[in-house]
Amino acid sequence: MSKQYVYIVQSSKEITKCKIGVTDDLERRLKDYNNMTGKSKETVYQYLFTCEVRDMKQVENDVKDEFRRLREEKNREIYFYNKDLFEDYVKYIKSHKTFVKEIFIKTDVQKEEVKKVKKTTPSLEERGVTRKDLLQKAQKVNNDEFYTRYEDVEKEIEMYDAEIWKEKTVFCNCDDAVDTEDDRKTSAFALYFIRNFKKLSLKKLICTHFSGGIDLFNQGAKGYIFTYIFTKNGFKGLKDYPKGYTGSFDDPFSLKILDEEADIVCTNPPFSRAIDYWNIIIESGKKFLIISNFTNVITHAFIPYFRDNKVWAGYNRVDYFFTPKKQITQASGHWYTNFPIKNRPKYENMKFIPLKKIPAKYKKYDDNKILLVDNNYIPNDYKEPFAVSAYPILSGLLEKGYKIIQGEEYSYVPSVNSKQCFRRTLVQKI
């Protein structure tokens, strides 16, 4: 009887995705990937993890069920990939009842090389820090050196009806610099709207450049306002350098544009100033489509906006950004908006079933007798408040007959056996 294997494979051209598959011949399967018709010679597939199992089909089906929300498409075994997700995939497979033994797991070669060169930089273990600590501190880190990738802007905006942009003035007000000679020095937001100005039938595009200490786009230290319009003589772009203008979203000039000219705001505001930014944009009453921290939906300062239906999740999460050196970096972001969402694909992530049918490992009561549910299970016959993570809310739970419960603290930090767990949000069926 031939042996059975489960593997995780990745293309060198698609580092944000991986395939979790099964085979009875690992060597042959990898050759198949690297000999695919039409594949670029520069595209190389390599295994990230392989192991032997007793029932590969059972493991494959269980992985599909466990990580359904992380599949790129429902009918394909392509999963989103980053370091943390990879660890979750491997941990789950190795804990499966049919797991036999690990054969190969890719080590982080780059990390080891950096460690040899920069010996003064301690590891997480050496610092006594866990991944949970980093997640909990994510919003407190004053690090806004992130470029949004063009493909992430394009992917989200094209989910919406093009009519929402017709004859509208779009305002990109968070260091969305423009260089008419070099796209590499232009914000992805500005670049997308310039390239699609006629297609979207825009009236005007206004972008601002920040004059802070870090010049992300190599546009100089002076803040400016870039205006782009289409005239009878063709497209026209103009940069204005108002005296004393900082380019910040809360600069008086920026607030004047927001109040008097902007119809739609679309940008990636600095994570470290998200609270200030949300206050200004939401209170302005303008339409918006912005990127912000993935955890906002379970964070005290932001939850009232979701509760009062002033904002909700957009279609996509954003896990990868560029640094000023154009290197890929990870940061858990998500799109947020006040535009209507039609046929949200993530509705399918949630599993609405009676409480008694939710698997025991995905439900429990905390020390306060509050029900905690995981893995996007939603008890559709439960009338009391229960606590959920960010995922169901980002998948559209509040659009499916559920509300956020108001209390002294909007976010909820449960304890189980006196041990504090991850922060959640209390919801209840309407």
Counts for the chain of helices (H) and strands (E), in that order? 12, 23
Q: How far apart are CA 194 and CA 154, in angstroms?
A: 12
| Co-location of 405 and 332 in the same domain | no
Q: How far apart are CA 311 and CA 285, in angstroms?
A: 11
Residue 424 belongs to a domain: yes
| Co-location of 96 and 204 in the same domain | no
CA atoms within 13 A on the CB side of 391: 16
Find the range with the poorest average confidence among 48-52, 78-82, 101-105, 372-376. 78-82
| Co-location of 31 and 84 in the same domain | yes
> Which CATH number belongs to the domain containing residue 300 in this structure?
3.40.50
Mean pLDDT of 317-344: 86
Per DSSP, 318 falls in state E
| Co-location of 81 and 173 in the same domain | no
| Co-location of 187 and 334 in the same domain | yes
Residue 89 belongs to a domain: yes
Report, in this order, helix, strand and coil percent for the chain, each rounded to 5: 30, 30, 40
Residue 36 belongs to a domain: yes
| Co-location of 11 and 66 in the same domain | yes
Residue 135 belongs to a domain: no
216-237 confidence digits (pLDDT tens): 566 667 889 999 998 877 788 8
Residue 107 belongs to a domain: yes
Q: How far apart are CA 284 and CA 304, in angstroms?
A: 16
| Whether residue 114 has pLDDT greater than 80 | no
| Co-location of 330 and 363 in the same domain | no
Q: End of a domain among 111, 135, 163?
A: 111
Q: End of a domain among 311, 326, 342?
A: 342
| Co-location of 334 and 273 in the same domain | yes
- The alpha-carbon radius of gyration of the chain (Å, integer) is 24
With cut-offs at 50, 70 and 90, classify the pLDDT of residue 30. Answer: very high
Domain that holds residue 388: 349-429
| Co-location of 306 and 409 in the same domain | no
With cut-offs at 50, 70 and 90, classify the pLDDT of residue 321. Answer: confident
End-to-end CA distance of the chain: 55
| Co-location of 287 and 265 in the same domain | yes
| Co-location of 89 and 45 in the same domain | yes
Mean pLDDT of 112-116: 31
pLDDT of residue 120: 36
Q: Please indicate whether residue 274 or residue 183 has the higher confidence score (pLDDT).
A: 274
CB atoms within 10 A of CB 92: 16
| Co-location of 336 and 353 in the same domain | no
pLDDT of residue 78: 87
pLDDT of residue 81: 80
Residue 137 belongs to a domain: no
Residue 123 belongs to a domain: no
| Whether residue 332 has pLDDT greater than 90 | no
Q: How far apart are CA 248 and CA 406, in angstroms?
A: 33
Residue 136 belongs to a domain: no
The count of domains in the chain is: 3
